[in-house]
Structure 1
């Protein structure tokens, strides 16, 4: 019973024992049962207890119900990616002391994990996850499944893609109705180069986002599905372009600037894989115009812009070196591992062949394997194999042979 939970909360907040509170009102045993919600009690007793605690029971009960609804609205705002509303609700919740009630606290902590993940504050999110995992066996079915969901998002953002798949696939859909996790499964499967499963879960996510009228996430999901259609062999290009143009128009309608940048990036990649490097470079430039240098996606787009310009011989070596140095500087300042991409560019542009291949072997490939970047592993192992073989280092070259036997056409290959 809600009254009992509220009385217990304010009694403990006031630093009173049960005996001190009930003096002259009822027995300690009776209060204990009231607080645990296992007995009937008269309104007169609860009014006397509330008066002693200096609270209004009806006001507190209303606050209790409103708080429950506010937590759900905060969750919805984060799924809808309404950042302004999410911030406002978080601030309101932090001001409400009833959030410390046990039945609210776990859900509140789970939502805090989501919040930190949305800010890419992985250390803060991981700390709460570790705390909640210690009590995982005591969580409700909903909270236990939500913990798996936020762990999956954390694994994805930290590059642990297989771990992301493993935890998300264990969610019990019957006990957890936030089917947004299908989207996270889709992008995790995409990241481990499993396009069929990625498309399957993206399609399930799309149905959920359409049902909940979540336009921004519809754009995200359709983008994922479009990437899968082109994952192995290029899909019908005219159809691909038409779909991208429709999604770009949706971005304009929703004022989704960052998503528009991602769409330009992905469409540029489709031009690049078809060796239409001028069109690709133009689109990468459009994408770069829409995002700040501190955006997580800026370095990825700059890397691909340099790649397209180099492959298409579109800019001078001096200009490309300047852009690669800029990318290196930004990545190092952000302590981002993407400095590796720009170091590869610099070695290549400066024609430091030996340094280039040593860096691939001892640094780049180790990072790509740790992150599970299958396409990049395939591409750079192939380059390294040919280099070693041509240099007469046959034994080392053959060590790479097994991973190259099943190699298919790779969209990163241009030479």
Structure 2
């Protein structure tokens, strides 16, 4: 922040008018020129203004001493280095608090949103975000950049992908306000690519993923490079470019192994399993999914559930119903034993419940679950592929029960949902 911007920001944060700030020190017109960086006050005037606004002296308008600590903390969060981020938290909090600088307070509160999201504390991040919203008009462009970036991440964690994309785009519009390091530009490009992927906008996703990849490779960031290759593999799969998708996965696998990141290797194995399954290479697909579960042994439950579900579906598609039921039961048991239980992982409660009933006799409970819970739930979340799959299962059930009108209705619904996914 320039000196004038810093003075204006501190004044706005204290809720003071220019008249109140300038009284007994300088004229309002001169203060206005200082705040607009059109004049530089003398040392005595600057000392008085700093005292009135509660700004600690000693930096002479240059980058404050706390700023370096805040940015090092932020870099640890961007790198998903949870231990380092936790270690730095109290130090940065204390340093920003003791600075007496309104700018430090806002930076800390902004970065705290990112910190709580790193810890997967979405409720805490929401409270932190609300506290920052009221300061928006007082923020400069750099602060607004972080504001929109972190709000985008917050919405993404809430699975509000359209809102996340809009926030990231606003951040992108502010990224040119000052020169930023490659890793920062790579991070925003990757987040944009993720949001485009979630909203099924394949070609923008490829463009941003390739940009993030180029910037990450220039920084020798193996983890982010692997993540970009995974995202590109997903895009090429959606375009039907299966061999290119597999090549991207293999590049991601190499980078993840060099980074010695077990979770990333597990994610790559999962994607390879999906690609092999689409090519009807059942044994290879199952092997990749089992490898993925092995690498994800210490990962959060949601990361394991997604692979267990894929394994259920792979066995089911290959008509190996015994193994499919065993995998569904394993997922169900893990779900029941988890801290969050059914409430914390409701979507997987639905998935595993559907397959447990499908593979053990169907009946009215199966019909009720699909008709009144699973299909409406995934439709509402715009998870059109899952909703279409379950609509087809229900249509097949009605066809076996010779309820052909109902069967036709759900076959049509499934086709319509798949069109929505394609048009999304």
TM range, smaller chain: 0.7 to 0.9
- Which residue is 1:221 aligned to? 228
- List aligned pairs for 1:32-43, cutoff 5 A: 40-41=41-42
- Which residue is 2:361 aligned to? 351
Q: Does 1:77 align with 2:76?
A: yes
- The structure-2 alpha-carbon separation of the partners of 1:367 and 1:406, relative to structure 1 and needing over 3 Å to count, comes to closer
Distance in 2 between the 1:109 and 1:184 partners?
21
- Which residue is 2:94 aligned to? 95
**Contact 1:348–1:356, Cα closer than 8 Å, also in 2:** yes
- Which residue is 2:65 aligned to? 66
Distance in 2 between the 1:46 and 1:126 partners?
38
- The structure-2 alpha-carbon separation of the partners of 1:246 and 1:146, relative to structure 1 and needing over 3 Å to count, comes to same
Kindly state the Cα deviation for residue 126 of structure 1 after the two structures are TM-superposed: 0.9
- The structure-2 alpha-carbon separation of the partners of 1:372 and 1:90, relative to structure 1 and needing over 3 Å to count, comes to same
- Which residue is 1:174 aligned to? 176
| SS of equivalent residue, structure 2 residue 24 | helix
- The structure-2 alpha-carbon separation of the partners of 1:369 and 1:77, relative to structure 1 and needing over 3 Å to count, comes to same
Kindly state the Cα deviation for residue 118 of structure 1 after the two structures are TM-superposed: 1.2
- Which residue is 1:276 aligned to? 281
Of structures 1 and 2, the one scoring higher in RCO (CA 8 A, sep 6+) is 1
Q: Does 1:29 align with 2:24?
A: yes
- List aligned pairs for 1:200-279, cutoff 5 A: 200-236=207-243, 239-279=244-284
| SS of equivalent residue, structure 2 residue 403 | coil
- The structure-2 alpha-carbon separation of the partners of 1:330 and 1:269, relative to structure 1 and needing over 3 Å to count, comes to farther
> Deviations 1:249-306 (Å, cap 9, x if unpaired)?
2212211111111001111111122222222221111111122264430111111122
> Deviations 1:174-218 (Å, cap 9, x if unpaired)?
337543222222222222222222222212322332344432111
- Which residue is 2:149 aligned to? 149
- Which residue is 1:121 aligned to? 121
Residue 392 of structure 1, aligned match among 389, 403, 413: 403
- Which residue is 2:345 aligned to? 336
Distance in 2 between the 1:148 and 1:40 partners?
33
- Which residue is 2:14 aligned to? none
Give unmatched runs, 5+ long, in structure 2. Answer: 11-21
Residue 312 of structure 2, aligned match among 299, 306, 309: 306
Which TM-score applies when normalising by structure 2?
Answer: 0.77
Distance in 1 between the 2:27 and 2:215 partners?
44
- The structure-2 alpha-carbon separation of the partners of 1:157 and 1:40, relative to structure 1 and needing over 3 Å to count, comes to closer
- The structure-2 alpha-carbon separation of the partners of 1:317 and 1:403, relative to structure 1 and needing over 3 Å to count, comes to closer
**Contact 2:354–2:366, Cα closer than 8 Å, also in 1:** yes
Which TM-score applies when normalising by structure 1?
Answer: 0.78
- Which residue is 1:23 aligned to? none
Q: Does 1:401 align with 2:396?
A: no
Kindly state the Cα deviation for residue 330 of structure 1 after the two structures are TM-superposed: 4.4
> Deviations 1:10-45 (Å, cap 9, x if unpaired)?
xxxxxxxxxxxxxxxxx9834999x99788455799
Aligned length: 385
Deviating more after overlay: 88-97 vs 261-270? 88-97
- List aligned pairs for 1:42-61, cutoff 5 A: 58=58
| SS of equivalent residue, structure 1 residue 174 | helix
